[in-house]
Structure 1
Amino acid sequence: MRKILHVDMDAFYASVEQRDDPSLRGRPVVVAWRGARSVVCAASYEARVFGVRSAMPAVRAERLCPDAVFVPPDFTRYKAVSRQVRAIFLRHTDLVEPLSLDEAYLDVTEPKIPSPSATATAQAIRAQIREETALTASAGVAPNKFIAKIASDWNKPDGMFVVRPSQVEAFLTPLPVAKIPGVGKVMEKKLAELGVATVGDLRAFSAEELQLRFGTFGRRLHLRARGIDERPVQPDQPVQSISAEDTFERDLQLYEFEGDIRRLAEKTWLATRRTQRVGRTVVLKLKTAQFRILTRSFTPEVPPASLEELTSIALSLRDRIDLPPSTRYRLVGVGVSGFRERGEADGQGSLFDDGERSPDSTGRPESL
């Protein structure tokens, strides 16, 4: 039986700002550049009371909370604090899997520092974070990653929640089915049509029924509804994707930002040169003026071998956007994914992953 922690810093960017500037303490702080094109990077708990959330347009945040203090993000400082926190994690276990600058999974089944329980280890880690960084963190303690991540949000901020193996079923049963990773608004609606609102409702369906309706994701739903998650904590995962994106100063139509695509392709290409792995899939990401996110991707038979090839594929992916020509876009991104070790055999070229995401789908910053 594994003992897994999910540790999540509380309102991380905003808390760093409040720590470093005492005049901000107790005030609603929004970490974002001001302007019509900006989005919120983080909000203090004082700002969240007014409904301000990460990834929200900054202008909307300002309408919701007119007294908010806007602070431009300083990622150099946030990364420095993140390194401090990771050093604390590594005192207790080498099995640390970063998810972002402000959260990580830890496997403390066999901790480096003797401890009577995973709960005691989590308490020690949180106390050290507070003492050494003057910041707070919340933690979930559970038998696996899925439950630990839900638990870490249970008593935020500056809290901890423990789900013991014997408590897993009772803990999951009343939860909204949207708590299961991958269940977004579209899937939630499909499940609601089947009468499924909670994890307990989902448990009434067999693996075969769910797989027939939802394919391989149906199998995952079956396992998660029963609290089963065999994924190990994986430290130092190899790079899976590299991308660059930018928000326009004003909304543009599809063929008005070729120069931006070329610039972002170059930025992405240079970043891929710093890894020993080879990316096979080129991805074009777009966000409409209505905050609808679309991705189009292509996997050639041979991975792109030059900036020119990468740029050409990225530009060609515009032709697979099927929205009206009058549609305007506020953001574009170019990425490379499907990384493999050099020398691994290439598969057949294929088109895949044409999709869109809800406006609340956001990327994560580089790892903790």
Structure 2
Amino acid sequence: MSRGPRAKLERHDWGDDETGCSILHVDMDAFFASVELVRRPDLRGRPVIVGGGERGVVLAATYEARAFGVHSAMSMVAARRRCPQAVVIPPDPSAYREVSRSVMAAVGEITALVEQVSVDEAFLDVSGARRRLGPPTVIAAGLRRRVQAEHGITCSVGVASTKLVAKLASTHAKPDGMLLIPAAASVPFLRALPVGALWGVGERTEQVLAGWGIRTVAELADADLVMIQAALGRVAGAHLHDLSWGRDPRPVQVARTEKSIGAETTFDRDRYDRGAVEGTVLRLADRCAGRLRQQGLVARTVTVKVRTSDFATLTRSRTLHAPTDVAREVYLVARELVAGVDLGGLPVRLVGVRAENLEQRSTAVVQPTLEDAVDTRQGAQRRAEAALDLVRDRFGVNSIALGSTGPRSTTNGADVELS
């Protein structure tokens, strides 16, 4: 569920005109927690948190837990402090993916114009489905009934003329509701919201705007554009000003291009042992490379994230001389990047590996070096890792692990400090 700001809305004069409102935003309600409650109906009505151990974060919480201030991305320590009576359930990613696939398949039967933005939410453009299935609100109601009947969970749907307003509408419809914002009511709807509700307005941007006396979307819309651009920059200022007036021409994008693929781990206790950290980096690199191969992608950049015990987060990045989907190459670069991070004598709390600057493997342009031409190890390593993929597909992701690798990487490129 979105935790975006809401407002008390006066909707009595909005009407029910669906003309031009072909965009639906479907958002599953407390998705992970809802899936767990289907399997454990005895927990219904009780505060339930889905999350990791004491050092993990909250992945989802029932509305009973949210009443105590628990929300996604909160640390488990803080969540337990706020709601000590909550039942904590470890996550079951395979179960969530299975339900997600089924729900998205149902969405795909409505229209081919589907943009899945996460495991539990998607945009639909139903302009071409109206003659066959009826008005957008009828389509939304039918989808909500089907999800409830087939999976025992609920979803909320926003119906509007743009993606921005549809997403905000689904947030206001939660839980288990539907909200239509007629095209003519888009601007009045937006003006009633705090400025933090708009896409792209994070905590820092909100603080900057507050410094200029702007706290609501109405104040942003009425402000001088030149002043907004002075505060936020020319492009960002113009974009947010357009959003405040409901101008959002972005279409539903059927194919979302992965911008990066990453994985990270929070240790059960802070680690001084560099060997333990390197072992985790190897597993994370293996996971990233497996996902690259699964999606037919290669990466030109490897980035690592290291968080120390004082919660300071450092990232380092390196661009490779050739794109890769080989775990050994990702790991060797990531290991060197982690080794180069100045920890200030502090232990490591979290480490992450991310593959960036992605391209389709089939179309990636690779300029081989002389070393590549005479060294066939990379090809052999890739074949070996592809064999591991088959074993994992058959017996599970944890059935086999990549072994340790050589002492150093052969990639080129300068390290770039990102934060």
- Say whether the fold is shared (TM-score over 0.5): yes
Aligned residue identity for 2:266: T
**1:300/1:350 contact within 8 Å kept:** no
RMSD (Å) for aligned C-alpha atoms: 2.7
**1:253/1:325 contact within 8 Å kept:** no
Residue 109 of structure 1 pairs with residue 134 of structure 2: no
Which of residues 315, 319, 323 in structure 2 aligns to 1:299?
A: 319
**2:292/2:325 contact within 8 Å kept:** no
Q: Flag structure 1 segments of 5+ consecutive residues without an equivalent.
A: 356-368
Partners of 1:154 and 1:284 lie apart in 2 by 37
Residue 354 of structure 1 pairs with residue 418 of structure 2: yes
The Cα of 1:293 is off from its aligned counterpart by 4.8
Other-structure match for 1:265: 285
The Cα of 1:172 is off from its aligned counterpart by 0.8
The Cα of 1:179 is off from its aligned counterpart by 0.9
Alignment of 1:160-239 (within 5 A): 160-215=178-233, 216-239=235-258
**2:115/2:252 contact within 8 Å kept:** yes
**1:91/1:112 contact within 8 Å kept:** no
Report the CA distance shift for 1:335/1:59 in structure 2 as closer, same or farther (over 3 A).
same
The Cα of 1:149 is off from its aligned counterpart by 0.8
Which of residues 298, 322, 334 in structure 1 aligns to 2:353?
A: 334
Aligned residue identity for 2:228: L
Q: Flag structure 2 segments of 5+ consecutive residues without an equivalent.
A: 1-19, 367-412
Other-structure match for 2:166: 148
The Cα of 1:104 is off from its aligned counterpart by 0.8
Other-structure match for 1:32: 51
Which of residues 101, 104, 108 in structure 2 aligns to 1:83?
A: 101
Other-structure match for 2:269: 250
If each structure's helix is expressed as a fraction of its own residues, which one has the higher value?
Answer: 2
The Cα of 1:226 is off from its aligned counterpart by 1.4
Report the CA distance shift for 1:306/1:11 in structure 2 as closer, same or farther (over 3 A).
closer
226-235 vs 138-147, which deviates more? 226-235
Report the CA distance shift for 1:113/1:245 in structure 2 as closer, same or farther (over 3 A).
farther
The Cα of 1:94 is off from its aligned counterpart by 1.0
Report the CA distance shift for 1:329/1:81 in structure 2 as closer, same or farther (over 3 A).
same
Report the CA distance shift for 1:261/1:121 in structure 2 as closer, same or farther (over 3 A).
same
Number of residues of Structure 1 aligned to a counterpart in Structure 2: 352
The Cα of 1:129 is off from its aligned counterpart by 1.4
Report the CA distance shift for 1:19/1:263 in structure 2 as closer, same or farther (over 3 A).
closer
**1:239/1:339 contact within 8 Å kept:** yes
Which of residues 21, 35, 53 in structure 2 aligns to 1:16?
A: 35
16-25 vs 309-318, which deviates more? 309-318
64-73 vs 278-287, which deviates more? 278-287
1:167 alignment partner, SS class: helix
Other-structure match for 1:365: none
Q: Which structure has the larger Rg over C-alpha atoms?
A: 2
Residue 121 of structure 1 pairs with residue 139 of structure 2: yes
Spell out, residue by residue over 1:60-115, the C-alpha distance to the aligned partner (whole angstroms, 9 max, x if none): 22222122111121222222211221122122111111122211111111117624
Which of residues 270, 275, 279 in structure 1 aligns to 2:295?
A: 275
Spell out, residue by residue over 1:227-283, the C-alpha distance to the aligned partner (whole angstroms, 9 max, x if none): 121211122324332212111121235956233223322322233223323222212
